[in-house]
Structure 1
Amino acid sequence: MRVSMTLSLPRQPSSVTRARQVLTTLLSLTDAAEDSRNHLAVLITEACANAVLHGDVDSVVDITIVIDDGVCLLEVGNRGSTPTDAALDAALPAPLTVGGRGLPLIAALADSAAFVAGPPDRVLLRITKHLMEVRTPPSR
């Protein structure tokens, strides 16, 4: 099954919730396991929150969701610039009471995540996650 959707949401905090709700709805059409769904909810939340927080003031948050053949692709973009220290690794910052946990969480939960080159005034984060399928117990 292939499911895809593209959204352009305003750069405001409520768009993070809307993006997560759309992704959750699309995932409900699949056989993805609950762990995969939960990881993807965190991934889209963190990616969209970063776009809202760091995007240019009059930018929109562009989101593409593609679920195809057991893989979910998320692309979250906005107008702005890629952070110079945008290391996508799983090392959490210290202390944990300050910001900066979004990219490490994305790195820890995604199968791959990278800022993709594009026009100079655009930021695009591409995330892929392989979906674990719900296992049905063997029939007796």
Structure 2
Amino acid sequence: MRVSMTLSLPREPSSVTRARHVLTTLLSLTDVAEDSRGHLAVLISEACANAVLHGDPDSTVDITIVIDDAVCLLEVGNRGSIPNGGGLDAELPAPLTVGGRGLPLIAALADTAVFVAGPPDHVLLRITKHLANARAAPIG
């Protein structure tokens, strides 16, 4: 089954929740296992939170979600710049109560996560996650 959606949300904190709700609704149409659903909820939440926090003031948060059998593709973009020095290979900050843990969490949960080159004033984070099928998941 292939399910996809593209949306453009305002750069405001409530957009993080909206994006997560859209993703969980799309996932409810599939047989994706609960652990994959949970990872994807964290991935889209962190990516959207970063877009809201770091995007240019008049930017929107542009999101593409594609669920295609065994893979989910998430793309989150905004006008702004790619983080400098806090890339996807950064360590989690200590203590965990401080900011800066979004990209390391994304790197830990995603199968791939990369910033995609584009126009100089645009940031696009492309995330892929291989999906476990609920029917194929072992019981117990």
TM over 0.5, yes or no? yes
Alignment of 1:95-134 (within 5 A): 95-134=95-134
The question of whether the paired residues in 1 share the 8 Å contact of 2:78 and 2:123 is answered with yes
The question of whether the paired residues in 1 share the 8 Å contact of 2:33 and 2:137 is answered with no
The question of whether the paired residues in 2 share the 8 Å contact of 1:8 and 1:61 is answered with yes
The question of whether the paired residues in 2 share the 8 Å contact of 1:89 and 1:108 is answered with no
d(CA) in 1 for partners of 2:85, 2:101: 13
Deviates more, 1:83-92 or 1:66-75: 83-92
Other-structure match for 2:63: 63
Alignment of 1:6-21 (within 5 A): 6-21=6-21
4+ runs deviating over 4 angstroms = none
The question of whether the paired residues in 2 share the 8 Å contact of 1:7 and 1:64 is answered with yes
TM-score where L is the length of structure 1: 0.94
TM-score where L is the length of structure 2: 0.94
For these two proteins, the number of residue pairs brought into alignment is: 138
SS in 2 for 1:81: coil
Q: Where do 5+ consecutive residues of structure 2 fail to align?
A: none
What's the CA shift for 1:137?
Answer: 8.7
Structure 1 residues 83-120: Cα deviation after superposition (integer angstroms, max 9, x where no partner): 11132126211222210000010001000001000000
RMSD (Å), alpha carbons: 1.5
The question of whether the paired residues in 1 share the 8 Å contact of 2:115 and 2:123 is answered with yes
